[in-house]
Structure 1
Amino acid sequence: MEFYRFDQESGKQITKFGSDFVMSRIIQTSGNAHIGCMHIPANGVVGYHQAVSPQLMLIMTGAGRVRSGNDDFIEVKAGEAVFWENGEWHETISEIGLTAIVIESEALNPSAYMTPKESGL
């Protein structure tokens, strides 16, 4: 399990064409990708299961905890991303609820675009 940032501080200020915004790059794929939005309610859970392909979860709002294998749960919040490899067992829970964009593709390489989250998770 790997952790990344896509918050405003990890992005780049864009001013071209009179623009004024920050772009946090996330991913580029060369193959098929499935992209969805997951809404986990308060006290919700995405049960312990095996990833059927590499999977990147981008937390947009809220917060929760994730685990991989038999590891302890690790807290995650809006602006952070979690990457699971194909076949990796994992689970997500949230006491307050969270909304996340989930990208699944064999061609994912989040470290090519996103800033790794500092250790001390």
Structure 2
Amino acid sequence: MEFYRFDRESGRPITKFDSNFVMSRIIQTSGNAHIGCMHIPANGVVGYHQAVSPQLMLIMTGAGKVRSGNDDFIEIKAGEAVFWEKGEWHETISKIGLTAIVIESEELNPSAYMTSRESDL
């Protein structure tokens, strides 16, 4: 399990075409990808299971905890992302609820675009 950031502070200002915004790069894939939005309610859970393919979960709102294998749960919040390899056992829980974008693809390599959160753990 790897942790990344996509919050405003991890992005770069874009001014081309008279623009004024910050872009946090996430991923690029040339192959098939499944992208969905997950809505976990307060006291919700995504049960313990194996990742069918490499999976990147980006927390958009709310907060929760994730774990991999038999490891302890680790807190995750909006602006952060978690990456699981294919076959990795994992679980997500949330006391307050969270909304996340989930990207699944055999070609995911988040470290090519995103800032690691490792220094924060």
Is the TM-score greater than 0.5?
A: yes
State the 4+ residue runs in structure 1 displaced beyond 3 angstroms.
none
| TM superposition score normalised by structure 1 | 0.98
SS at match of 2:66: strand
Distance (Å, rounded) in 1 between the aligned partners of 2:3 and 2:84: 9
**Deviations 1:41-84 (Å, cap 9, x if unpaired)?**
00000000000000000000000000000000000000000000
Cα distance in 2, alignment partners of residues 84 and 67 from structure 1: 10
Provide the identity percentage.
89
Number of aligned residues = 121
Q: What is the match of residue 73 of structure 1?
A: 73
**Deviation at residue 120 of structure 1 after TM alignment:** 4.2
Cα distance in 2 for partners of 1:8, 1:43 equals: 28
Number of the residue aligned with 2:27: 27
Match of residue 54 from structure 2: 54
Displacement of 1:30: 1.7
**5+ long unaligned stretches in structure 2:** none
Aligned to 2:44: 44
User: What TM-score, normalized to structure 2?
Assistant: 0.98
Structure 1, unpaired ranges of 5+: none
Distance across 1 between alignment mates of 2:10 and 2:78 = 13
RMSD of aligned residue pairs (Cα, Å): 0.6
